[in-house]
Structure 1
Amino acid sequence: MKRTLFTALLAAGLLSMGACKQDNKTEVGEAGMNQAATQAADAANPAVDNPNVTGETAAPNPNAPVMTFAESEYNFGDIKQGEVVKHTFEFTNTGKTPLLIDNAQASCGCTVPQWPKDPVAPGAKGTIAVEFNSTGKVGVQNKTITITANTQPNTTNIAIKGNVLDMANGPVRQ
C-alpha cells in the first residue's frame, strides 16, 4: 500500500516537473494527471493472482486432504490453579492426498500444541497433543488451537476449556 502511494506520488511529481513553469492542469487536466499516476502505479505494482487476497473463491479441490476430528473440543472440567493438564485430539485424513500440517498455534501462551511433522496418508490417523498450564489463571478458560494445513480451507480449529479453581479464595465460577 505504501509502495503504491509512493509510486503514485512520484509519478504525479514527475508529470508536474515535465513542463517548465507551466500549469499541467491546463494542458493535461486533473483527470489526465490522475490517470497517468494510476497507470504508473499499476505498472510498478502488478496485481498478484492470489484468490486468498483478491476475494475470489477458488474452486474446491476434490483431491484435497480433509482433517476429520473425532472431537473438536475437550472440557477438562475443574482443575487446580497451577496444574498442567494434557489432552490428545485424534484426527483422520479422510481426503485423497497426504495431509501436511504446517503449524498449530494456540490462542494463549499457556497452551502448547504438538502436531505430526510428517505427512499423514489418506485414511491414516494422526494426533495433536495439547498441554494447558493453569498457572496464573482463574475461572473458566477457553483456548483455541488453529491448525494450518494443506486442506480447504487451510485452517481448522479445535478447542479446550476448563474451570481453574482458585484454591486460596475458593472455587470461582463465571
Structure 2
Amino acid sequence: MKKIIFLFAAGTFVLASSCKKQEAKMENTPINPAAQITEAPMPQTATPPADGKYPVMEFETKEHDFGKINAGSKVVYTFNFKNTGEADLIISNAVGSCGCTVPEYPKEAIKPGESGKMKVSFNSAGKNGQQQKTVTITANTAAGKEMLTIKASITPVTGIAQ
C-alpha cells in the first residue's frame, strides 16, 4: 500500500513540475505580432445597387441525394442554375461544409437570362452512415448567400481486396 501511495505522489509531482516547465517556456517565448489572433471581419452584406436591380440564382434543385455509396467513393453532382434577375450574377466564393465537399463555380459574370453550373464533388473516405453536407455560395444576390445540400448513405466496404 505504501508503494502505491509513493508512486501516486511521485507521478503527481512529475506532472506538476512538467506543467510549470512548459509555462516557463511559454513565458520566455517572444510573441510574433503577425501571428496574433484577431477578430474575424464582419461579413459584408450586399450593398443595394443604385438601380435597385439584383441578380437571382434560380436552381433546378438545391438538394441532391447520392443514395447508397461505398465508403471511399468519390461522387460528383452538377447543380444547374439560371440568373432570373435583372443584373449580372457574380459568384465571389463557394465553400463546402467540410474538406470532403468541394464546389467548382463559374468565375465569370452570368448575365440575366443565362445559365450556369456548380459542380460539387464529395469524397466519402473516412465517412460512415448517413451524411449531409452543404455548400455556401457568396454572390451579389439580394440575400448575399445561397445554400446547396448533398446527402449520401455510406456503406462500409467489407472484405479486403487482394
In structure 1, C-alpha distance between the alignment counterparts of 2:44 and 2:155, rounded to whole Å: 46
Q: Which residue of 1 aligns with 2:63?
A: 73
Unaligned runs of 5+ in 2: 1-42
Residue 90 of structure 2 aligns with an amino acid whose one-letter code is: L
From the two aligned structures, give the one with the greater helix fraction. 1
1:160 and 2:150 are equivalent in the alignment? yes
Number of equivalenced pairs = 116
In structure 2, C-alpha distance between the alignment counterparts of 1:148 and 1:162, rounded to whole Å: 24
Q: Which residue of 1 aligns with 2:16?
A: none
Offset of residue 167 of structure 1: 1.9
In structure 2, C-alpha distance between the alignment counterparts of 1:138 and 1:92, rounded to whole Å: 34
Residue 122 of structure 2 aligns with an amino acid whose one-letter code is: F
Unaligned runs of 5+ in 1: 1-49, 53-57, 170-174
Structure whose CA Rg is larger: 1
Aligned pairs (5 A) from 1:27-66: 52=45, 62-66=52-56
Inter-CA distance 135–92: structure 2 relative to 1 (3 Å threshold): same
Aligned pairs (5 A) from 1:133-148: 133-148=123-138
Offset of residue 168 of structure 1: 2.7
Q: Which residue of 2 aligns with 1:31?
A: none
Q: Which residue of 1 aligns with 2:74?
A: 84
Which has the higher relative contact order, 1 or 2, with Cα contacts under 8 A spaced 6 or more apart?
A: 2
- What CA deviation, in whole Å up to 9, does each residue of 1:6-41 have, x standing for no partner? xxxxxxxxxxxxxxxxxxxxxxxxxxxxxxxxxxxx
